[in-house]
Structure 1
């Protein structure tokens, strides 16, 4: 397994090219490829985001304050990508009505946020919020990979197993907030904080070509597994100064002519 943290096309195979520095990204390789722009853990920040076919945001969009969440979704709606797929993270507390109540926000505010996240303006702006769901999108006029699926939070291994069992077996692009265990999940205290249940489920997802996540800010980076599958910890972090990660994937699994 290879790993890289800086430079241009720092990781590359016949069907995947990964850039951790947007300043060094090469021009779009053409219609046979899909360009994914991966971000996570923006925490109310609006970084410069390079253009691409699909934007993937792996959660912690905001700190959960309603006014800031509205601002962040306005930002997402204004980005130029043909498709934008977003999931929630542990700081996106707007998802939890009970938490909002304990913070002093009314049900009306909670309902307004649901409209911000899932409403018509958001849908018209090609922003898709996923919550334990899958989505099949069209990129450059062609059918693209199935995207799944927005895992949020869980308390026990049994709950995690129930959630991850719902990932469709034919998923090619997976979005979760947490990393899988032993994949870009090491904290600054040298603790592996990823989910073991998710790691086991990934072994079963033989069609999964790209897994994007965040949560562990200091483990930001990318890896290409032995089977060619790409793992991206796209955490930007308000204090980490991270950049979006750009991943180009060949649309066809055939690589003989790549």
Structure 2
């Protein structure tokens, strides 16, 4: 039987045979899509084929020529593999740079600016604000008020101190759903305070007929059974008059930062109880009685606890004018601007931004507490 001699001057192996044997289509542009382990398999296989089919005195030369010829292919395959690795390395660097820039952005906004007009913070990591010490027991014949706001159906990480009256300045839900409101009512039922006074915020759309899309909004007396709900009305507790109103100025964020886009996507319903600045809001503030002791609003007044992360004042000028010139309450409790958490004051009024949530909607801030003496002739019973 004649032995077929492979001619090293030709391609050593027929390309058609090669493709049929190893199932590899040769890419003359050297864009090989084979793995490294296949190379060793190819060389080993063809070495066996040479011994069987080629003349023995040419088999070693043919194998050397074959290896030299395909060494270029192997090098190009490795270079192509390195090219893919380099592309992945470049993409990884881009992602890491983006994360680093985002970290710098959040860290810069995390700088807390303190002062008489409130401050701002942007916490990327939950950081529980220490409570005002463990407040001592209230003096005799005084009423203890505990102030919270903007809980957004979040688990409150800071302990809520005991007291006589709990004041909540709105945004007790995240999306304004009935289930969130019922969970909030259950949470109120676990607190030891004798009275709980609640107003709505711009997230609580179930209480705003225009935003909830119904002819009549939800009835708060049916799901807020553990609280006194105020909407442009007042209540007298222990001889102290509390007036509550939920209205806020229109505030349309330009969505310039990733944080703005994240909040708009996570909480798309942010427009309850909004009114244009000017006369529509002034009408609401005129309804505040002048004998109000504690004013409970959702929006802050201009210049007190209203500094946003973009260093813009978001408070209401008309509300500030009504508070300072006409009403002059002893305490003004509000929320809405999470970054403005803190206490400030002027000659007549103490302003408290009691937002428990920070800008990342993490309920990490501590409730604010103050005491008021009982009016003459009023007892705690």
Whether TM-score is above 0.5 comes out as: yes
More strand by share: 1
| Cα drift, residue 137 of structure 1 | 1.4
In structure 2, do the counterparts of structure 1 residues 96 and 207 end up closer, same or farther at CA, with 3 Å as the change threshold? closer
Which residue does the alignment assign to 2:321?
200
Report Cα offsets for 1:157-213 as digits up to 9, x if no partner.
111100000000100100000000011110011101000000000013455101000
Distance 1:168 1:247 in 2: 22
Q: Give the counterpart of 1:72 among 184, 195, 204.
A: 184
1:12-91, aligned counterparts within 5 Å?
21-22=130-131, 24-47=133-156, 48-63=159-174, 64-91=176-203
Structure 1 moving runs of 4+ over 6 Å: none
In structure 2, do the counterparts of structure 1 residues 98 and 196 end up closer, same or farther at CA, with 3 Å as the change threshold? closer
| Cα drift, residue 83 of structure 1 | 1.2
More helix by share: 2
Contact 1:46 1:72 in 2 (8 A): no
Q: Figure out how many residues of one structure are paired with residues of the other and give that number.
A: 221
Q: Give the counterpart of 1:163 among 251, 273, 284.
A: 284
1:71 match: secondary structure? helix
1:136-155, aligned counterparts within 5 Å?
136-138=236-238, 144-152=239-247, 153=273, 154-155=275-276
Q: Give the counterpart of 2:371 among 248, 251, 254.
A: 248
Gaps of 5+ in 2: 1-114, 120-128, 248-272, 377-381
Contact 2:182 2:224 in 1 (8 A): no
| Cα drift, residue 249 of structure 1 | 2.7
Contact 1:219 1:233 in 2 (8 A): yes
Normalised to the residue count of structure 2, the TM-score between the two structures is: 0.54
Gaps of 5+ in 1: 6-19, 139-143, 254-258
| Cα drift, residue 78 of structure 1 | 2.9
Q: Give the counterpart of 2:344 among 223, 226, 229.
A: 223
Over aligned residues, Cα RMSD in angstroms?
A: 2.5
Normalised to the residue count of structure 1, the TM-score between the two structures is: 0.77
Contact 2:151 2:363 in 1 (8 A): no
Q: Return the index of the structure with the highest Cα Rg.
A: 2
In structure 2, do the counterparts of structure 1 residues 188 and 179 end up closer, same or farther at CA, with 3 Å as the change threshold? same
2:242 match: secondary structure? strand
Which residue does the alignment assign to 2:355?
235
Distance 1:70 1:186 in 2: 32
